[in-house]
Structure 1
Amino acid sequence: MYDPITKIYLLYYDDLYRFLVTRYPNPDHIDDIIQNTFLEALRHMDSFKGDSSIKTWLFGIAKHQLYRSLRKNKLQLPLDDSPEAELAAHTDFSDKVLAEQIVERLNRLDPPHRDIMRLRLLHGLSFKEIAQWTDRTETYCRVNFYRMKEKLRKEYGEDEHM
């Protein structure tokens, strides 16, 4: 019924939209970024080797299109528009304080650790996908995620929540 490109578009559009809308300050431009992502994917389809899922590959392209758009428009991301702020907003009151403390702690991590934690906890990516996203090895991502998770558990005494 649909050609393969249309199927991929329909399958991943919503995921890409959710990913970008939490990171880009102007939601009116999200569709442009997604369109550029798919155009770039079409142009470079022959370079897709299948080492990752198509979703991971598209998210990588979307990330670069996002950064390109931010640079082009000289924009910075407001902290309140982060997925962490959304997470803290959607918890019940008893968990909200803990969620806000964890979000604050995540924001203080250095970039590789912060990115690994966010991609795993907030976006549910596999360690293989995180490794491709961050240009690190899968083992590096696994070990550092575990270390940061254990550190947070000790800080907050919440072994059963992570």
Structure 2
Amino acid sequence: MTESAVVVGLRASGRPAFSRGHLAGRFGLVGEDLFPRGARGRQARQTWPIEEEPGAGRPVAVGDTRPSPEERRPLVAAGHAHGATVLAHWFPPDPAGSPRREALRAARARVPDAGVRATSGRPRRPTRAAGFDAVHAVRRDGRGGREIHPTA
């Protein structure tokens, strides 16, 4: 069965690095971090692969902040509509670490502090009740790597 994955976390949580390091071999990757700055139609660009790729038998992973269940719902529904198992990889908020890591980005890639703060209080953990077939929490292991834990 084909899989779709939604990688959920705040800016500077490590979503793109995790996706490239852990998902790239199994999934086609899409997400706002991969689009040119100023690209139009970001939502449609991210939803399209979830709608098209699983139907063609190709797994896809979408990485984005997607802080609320309402923002994730179209991706979950599109994956299920094509018979895909829909996974969530959740990066629990790190209110102190995310702004520090964001400040280390090149100026062109950096989101203003106000943008980081605007989403910092909004993330809600993805759940099976919201339609995900499995939810995994991804945390830093303190040694530069990640620990991935299934959640209830």
Common fold by TM > 0.5: no
Computing the radius of gyration from Cα coordinates, the structure with the larger value is 1
Q: Which has the higher helix share?
A: 1
TM-score of the superposed pair, with normalisation by structure 2: 0.24
TM-score of the superposed pair, with normalisation by structure 1: 0.23
